[in-house]
Amino acid sequence: MPSFRLTVAALAAFAFCGAPLSASAQSFSDTQRGDIETIVHNYLLAHPEVLEEAMAELNKRQAAADAAKHEATITQNADTIFNSPRGVVLGNKDGDVTFVEFFDYNCGYCKRAMADMLDLMKADSKLKVVLKEFPVLSQGSVEAAQVAVAVRMQDPTGKKYLDFHQKLLGGRGPADKARALAVAKDVGLDMAKLEKDMASPEAKATIEENFKLAEDMGMNGTPSYVIGKQIVVGAVGLDGLKEKIGIARCGKATC
Protein backbone atom coordinates (compact mmCIF):
# COMPACT_ATOMS: atom_id res chain seq x y z
CA MET A 1 0.00 0.00 0.00
CA PRO A 2 2.81 2.54 0.67
CA SER A 3 4.05 2.19 -2.91
CA PHE A 4 0.51 2.60 -4.23
CA ARG A 5 0.05 5.69 -2.08
CA LEU A 6 3.33 7.10 -3.31
CA THR A 7 2.35 6.53 -6.92
CA VAL A 8 -1.06 8.09 -6.47
CA ALA A 9 0.39 10.97 -4.48
CA ALA A 10 2.88 11.63 -7.26
CA LEU A 11 0.14 11.58 -9.87
CA ALA A 12 -1.94 13.87 -7.69
CA ALA A 13 0.93 16.29 -7.33
CA PHE A 14 1.39 16.40 -11.10
CA ALA A 15 -2.31 16.90 -11.65
CA PHE A 16 -2.60 19.50 -8.89
CA CYS A 17 0.46 21.50 -9.95
CA GLY A 18 -0.39 21.37 -13.64
CA ALA A 19 2.88 19.66 -14.62
CA PRO A 20 3.03 18.15 -18.11
CA LEU A 21 2.85 14.37 -18.39
CA SER A 22 5.95 12.46 -19.48
CA ALA A 23 6.22 10.76 -22.86
CA SER A 24 5.30 7.38 -21.34
CA ALA A 25 2.22 8.85 -19.66
CA GLN A 26 1.13 10.35 -22.96
CA SER A 27 1.19 6.86 -24.49
CA PHE A 28 -1.73 5.74 -22.31
CA SER A 29 -4.96 5.00 -24.11
CA ASP A 30 -8.02 7.12 -23.42
CA THR A 31 -9.45 4.28 -21.32
CA GLN A 32 -6.25 3.92 -19.28
CA ARG A 33 -6.02 7.65 -18.79
CA GLY A 34 -9.63 7.75 -17.62
CA ASP A 35 -8.96 4.92 -15.16
CA ILE A 36 -5.94 6.77 -13.74
CA GLU A 37 -7.93 9.98 -13.37
CA THR A 38 -10.67 8.08 -11.56
CA ILE A 39 -8.14 6.45 -9.21
CA VAL A 40 -6.53 9.81 -8.46
CA HIS A 41 -9.89 11.50 -7.98
CA ASN A 42 -11.15 8.85 -5.58
CA TYR A 43 -7.88 8.73 -3.71
CA LEU A 44 -7.83 12.49 -3.18
CA LEU A 45 -11.37 12.42 -1.89
CA ALA A 46 -10.37 9.74 0.61
CA HIS A 47 -6.99 11.34 1.45
CA PRO A 48 -7.20 15.14 0.92
CA GLU A 49 -4.12 15.58 3.12
CA VAL A 50 -2.07 14.52 0.09
CA LEU A 51 -2.78 17.91 -1.46
CA GLU A 52 -1.37 19.62 1.63
CA GLU A 53 1.74 17.44 1.41
CA ALA A 54 2.16 18.24 -2.28
CA MET A 55 1.70 21.97 -1.69
CA ALA A 56 4.13 21.92 1.24
CA GLU A 57 6.74 20.25 -0.95
CA LEU A 58 6.08 22.73 -3.76
CA ASN A 59 6.51 25.65 -1.34
CA LYS A 60 9.70 24.10 0.04
CA ARG A 61 11.19 23.77 -3.43
CA GLN A 62 10.13 27.31 -4.36
CA ALA A 63 11.69 28.69 -1.19
CA ALA A 64 14.94 26.87 -1.97
CA ALA A 65 14.91 28.22 -5.53
CA ASP A 66 14.25 31.76 -4.27
CA ALA A 67 17.07 31.48 -1.72
CA ALA A 68 19.50 30.32 -4.40
CA LYS A 69 18.44 33.17 -6.69
CA HIS A 70 18.80 35.72 -3.87
CA GLU A 71 22.25 34.42 -2.98
CA ALA A 72 23.40 34.67 -6.60
CA THR A 73 22.05 38.22 -6.93
CA ILE A 74 23.66 39.33 -3.68
CA THR A 75 26.99 37.77 -4.65
CA GLN A 76 26.88 39.56 -8.00
CA ASN A 77 26.19 42.95 -6.36
CA ALA A 78 27.96 42.38 -3.03
CA ASP A 79 30.44 45.24 -3.23
CA THR A 80 27.76 47.82 -4.01
CA ILE A 81 25.31 46.41 -1.46
CA PHE A 82 27.69 46.17 1.47
CA ASN A 83 30.59 48.53 0.75
CA SER A 84 29.37 51.38 -1.46
CA PRO A 85 30.56 54.75 -0.12
CA ARG A 86 27.04 55.99 -0.87
CA GLY A 87 25.55 53.96 1.97
CA VAL A 88 25.30 55.29 5.51
CA VAL A 89 27.30 53.02 7.82
CA LEU A 90 26.31 52.70 11.47
CA GLY A 91 27.13 50.29 14.27
CA ASN A 92 30.36 48.30 14.05
CA LYS A 93 32.00 49.20 10.75
CA ASP A 94 34.08 46.00 11.00
CA GLY A 95 31.18 43.82 12.09
CA ASP A 96 30.93 40.14 11.18
CA VAL A 97 27.40 40.55 9.76
CA THR A 98 26.19 43.44 7.61
CA PHE A 99 22.55 44.47 7.93
CA VAL A 100 21.38 46.60 4.99
CA GLU A 101 18.03 48.39 5.13
CA PHE A 102 16.23 50.02 2.19
CA PHE A 103 13.69 52.53 3.51
CA ASP A 104 11.31 55.34 2.60
CA TYR A 105 10.75 58.31 4.92
CA ASN A 106 6.99 58.13 4.33
CA CYS A 107 6.73 54.41 5.00
CA GLY A 108 4.67 53.67 8.11
CA TYR A 109 6.21 50.22 8.48
CA CYS A 110 9.68 51.79 8.26
CA LYS A 111 8.80 54.06 11.17
CA ARG A 112 8.03 51.01 13.31
CA ALA A 113 11.02 49.08 11.96
CA MET A 114 13.38 51.89 12.97
CA ALA A 115 13.02 50.84 16.60
CA ASP A 116 14.05 47.30 15.60
CA MET A 117 17.18 48.59 13.87
CA LEU A 118 18.15 50.71 16.88
CA ASP A 119 17.58 47.80 19.26
CA LEU A 120 19.74 45.55 17.10
CA MET A 121 22.60 48.07 17.05
CA LYS A 122 22.40 48.49 20.81
CA ALA A 123 22.29 44.77 21.58
CA ASP A 124 24.68 43.44 18.93
CA SER A 125 28.18 44.93 19.06
CA LYS A 126 29.27 42.87 16.04
CA LEU A 127 26.59 44.19 13.69
CA LYS A 128 27.36 46.56 10.83
CA VAL A 129 24.31 48.54 9.68
CA VAL A 130 24.00 50.17 6.25
CA LEU A 131 21.08 52.47 5.41
CA LYS A 132 19.99 53.08 1.83
CA GLU A 133 17.35 55.62 0.81
CA PHE A 134 14.70 53.99 -1.40
CA PRO A 135 11.95 56.62 -1.97
CA VAL A 136 9.13 54.68 -3.64
CA LEU A 137 5.97 56.18 -2.15
CA SER A 138 5.72 59.82 -3.24
CA GLN A 139 7.45 62.92 -4.53
CA GLY A 140 7.81 63.98 -0.91
CA SER A 141 9.72 60.75 -0.30
CA VAL A 142 12.10 61.61 -3.14
CA GLU A 143 12.66 65.11 -1.74
CA ALA A 144 13.30 63.78 1.77
CA ALA A 145 15.73 61.21 0.37
CA GLN A 146 17.63 63.93 -1.50
CA VAL A 147 18.04 65.85 1.74
CA ALA A 148 19.14 62.66 3.52
CA VAL A 149 21.79 61.96 0.89
CA ALA A 150 23.09 65.52 1.30
CA VAL A 151 23.22 64.97 5.06
CA ARG A 152 25.36 61.88 4.51
CA MET A 153 27.68 63.81 2.19
CA GLN A 154 28.21 66.41 4.92
CA ASP A 155 28.50 63.93 7.78
CA PRO A 156 30.72 60.94 6.90
CA THR A 157 30.74 59.72 10.51
CA GLY A 158 27.00 59.03 10.40
CA LYS A 159 26.36 60.57 13.82
CA LYS A 160 24.36 63.56 12.61
CA TYR A 161 22.76 61.41 9.92
CA LEU A 162 21.40 59.05 12.58
CA ASP A 163 20.04 62.01 14.54
CA PHE A 164 18.44 63.37 11.36
CA HIS A 165 17.12 59.93 10.43
CA GLN A 166 15.46 59.33 13.79
CA LYS A 167 13.84 62.75 13.92
CA LEU A 168 12.54 62.70 10.34
CA LEU A 169 11.38 59.09 10.26
CA GLY A 170 10.08 59.21 13.80
CA GLY A 171 8.25 62.53 13.44
CA ARG A 172 4.60 63.16 12.65
CA GLY A 173 3.19 64.04 9.29
CA PRO A 174 4.40 63.37 5.75
CA ALA A 175 8.07 63.83 4.94
CA ASP A 176 9.02 66.22 2.14
CA LYS A 177 11.73 68.75 1.31
CA ALA A 178 10.53 71.44 3.71
CA ARG A 179 10.24 69.12 6.67
CA ALA A 180 13.51 67.36 5.93
CA LEU A 181 15.34 70.69 5.67
CA ALA A 182 13.85 71.81 8.98
CA VAL A 183 15.12 68.63 10.65
CA ALA A 184 18.56 69.06 9.05
CA LYS A 185 18.76 72.60 10.39
CA ASP A 186 17.68 71.39 13.81
CA VAL A 187 20.54 68.88 14.00
CA GLY A 188 23.08 71.59 13.16
CA LEU A 189 24.04 71.03 9.53
CA ASP A 190 25.46 73.63 7.14
CA MET A 191 22.32 74.53 5.21
CA ALA A 192 24.05 76.30 2.32
CA LYS A 193 26.24 73.26 1.69
CA LEU A 194 23.23 70.99 2.12
CA GLU A 195 21.26 72.76 -0.61
CA LYS A 196 24.27 72.59 -2.92
CA ASP A 197 24.83 68.88 -2.26
CA MET A 198 21.15 68.10 -2.83
CA ALA A 199 21.45 69.33 -6.40
CA SER A 200 24.74 67.56 -7.06
CA PRO A 201 25.26 64.63 -9.47
CA GLU A 202 26.34 62.56 -6.46
CA ALA A 203 22.92 62.89 -4.81
CA LYS A 204 21.19 61.76 -7.99
CA ALA A 205 23.65 58.91 -8.49
CA THR A 206 23.11 57.67 -4.94
CA ILE A 207 19.36 57.29 -5.33
CA GLU A 208 19.76 55.77 -8.79
CA GLU A 209 22.24 53.24 -7.39
CA ASN A 210 19.81 52.26 -4.64
CA PHE A 211 16.94 51.84 -7.09
CA LYS A 212 19.03 49.66 -9.38
CA LEU A 213 20.07 47.43 -6.50
CA ALA A 214 16.48 47.11 -5.32
CA GLU A 215 15.29 46.28 -8.83
CA ASP A 216 18.01 43.65 -9.30
CA MET A 217 16.98 42.02 -6.02
CA GLY A 218 13.25 42.12 -6.70
CA MET A 219 12.46 44.63 -3.96
CA ASN A 220 9.30 46.63 -4.60
CA GLY A 221 8.47 47.96 -1.16
CA THR A 222 9.89 49.12 2.14
CA PRO A 223 11.34 48.24 4.47
CA SER A 224 13.47 45.67 2.66
CA TYR A 225 16.69 44.16 3.93
CA VAL A 226 19.80 42.33 2.85
CA ILE A 227 21.23 40.31 5.72
CA GLY A 228 24.18 38.19 4.77
CA LYS A 229 23.01 36.22 1.73
CA GLN A 230 19.32 36.71 2.50
CA ILE A 231 16.82 39.18 1.05
CA VAL A 232 13.99 40.07 3.42
CA VAL A 233 11.02 42.09 2.19
CA GLY A 234 8.68 43.69 4.69
CA ALA A 235 8.65 44.51 8.39
CA VAL A 236 9.28 41.08 9.92
CA GLY A 237 9.79 42.39 13.45
CA LEU A 238 12.73 42.32 15.84
CA ASP A 239 12.68 38.56 16.43
CA GLY A 240 12.49 37.86 12.70
CA LEU A 241 15.48 40.10 12.05
CA LYS A 242 17.46 38.50 14.88
CA GLU A 243 16.78 35.11 13.35
CA LYS A 244 18.07 36.24 9.95
CA ILE A 245 21.18 37.75 11.54
CA GLY A 246 21.80 34.48 13.38
CA ILE A 247 21.53 32.54 10.12
CA ALA A 248 23.95 34.94 8.43
CA ARG A 249 26.36 34.60 11.32
CA CYS A 250 26.43 30.80 11.38
CA GLY A 251 26.30 30.45 7.60
CA LYS A 252 23.52 27.85 7.57
CA ALA A 253 19.80 27.85 6.79
CA THR A 254 19.18 26.72 10.37
CA CYS A 255 21.60 27.14 13.25
Q: What is the pLDDT of residues 77-110, one digit of tens each?
A: 999 999 999 999 999 999 999 999 999 999 999 9
Choosing from 40, 65, 90, the residue where a domain stops is 65
Q: Which residues span the domain enclosing 31?
A: 2-65
Q: For the chain (length 255 residues), average pLDDT per consecutive 10?
A: 46 48 65 86 86 82 75 90 95 96 97 96 96 97 98 94 97 95 97 96 96 92 94 94 94 61
The answer to whether residues 165 and 229 belong to one domain is yes
The answer to whether residues 32 and 113 belong to one domain is no
Q: What is the pLDDT of residues 2-29, one digit of tens each?
A: 444 444 445 444 444 444 445 455 678 8
The answer to whether residues 239 and 146 belong to one domain is yes
Residue 141 domain flag:
yes
Residue 71 domain flag:
no
Q: Any idea what the CATH number is for the domain that residue 126 is in?
A: 3.40.30.10
The answer to whether residues 180 and 88 belong to one domain is yes
**Global confidence as pTM:** 0.76
For CA atoms 215, 113, 121, 103, the dihedral sign is positive
Query: In this predicted structure, what is the pLDDT of residue 188?
Result: 96
Q: Collapse the DSSP code of 88 into the 3-class scheme (helix H, G, I; strand E, B; otherwise coil) and give the result.
A: strand
Residue 219 domain flag:
yes
Contact yes or no for 103/132 (Cβ under 8 A): yes
Residue 223 domain flag:
yes
Query: In this predicted structure, what is the pLDDT of residue 165?
Result: 98
CA–CA separation, 150 and 196 (whole Å): 8
Query: In this predicted structure, what is the pLDDT of residue 16?
Result: 46
What percentage of the chain has pLDDT greater than the value 70? 88
Give kind and range of the element (H or E) at residue 233. strand 230-233
Residue 72 domain flag:
no
Query: In this predicted structure, what is the pLDDT of residue 72?
Result: 83
